[in-house]
Amino acid sequence: MVNHTSGRTSFVVLMERKNQMVQLMNAKDPDALTDDAIATIFRVVLGHRSRYNRWLGHYVMPESTKVVGVSNEKYERLAEENDANRKNVEYYQNRVEEIEGGFRMMKEHMRDYEQRVNMRMSDVEMELESQRETQTAVP
């Protein structure tokens, strides 16, 4: 016999919530799956009530969504915007690093090219000088 400990929640709803949690965890970068990130996923799927979570091995404490003068809807919208802005910042930071890397590579190529041009110019000058010497040596 298996003890049912989910209260009034049906088995189907529990399975849907489990699938939702698995999808949210799979959508995250494996390096970003910290205990806090997992706790946040549980709070999103299961709600904000504090409860013991056997997968985390500790109680999941609710996040306070009460801000003086701000409605819950507005707070949620601002939190979503904040998350989107964080993702944008990460994206643009990565792009800046890629662009800076490209500039470094381009500078190295230009330096190599300039060295080759200088070597070729000195070779051409030496050839011209030797031609002048042979022309002045022949009377």
For 113-127, write each residue's pLDDT tens digit: 999 999 999 999 999
More confident call, 58 vs 80:
80
Q: Which helix (H) or strand (E) holds 46?
A: helix 35-46
| Residue 118 confidence (pLDDT) | 96
Residue percentage of the chain with pLDDT more than 70: 76
| Residue 115 confidence (pLDDT) | 96
How many angstroms separate the Cα of 48 from the Cα of each of 12, 45, 61, 89?
21, 9, 8, 28
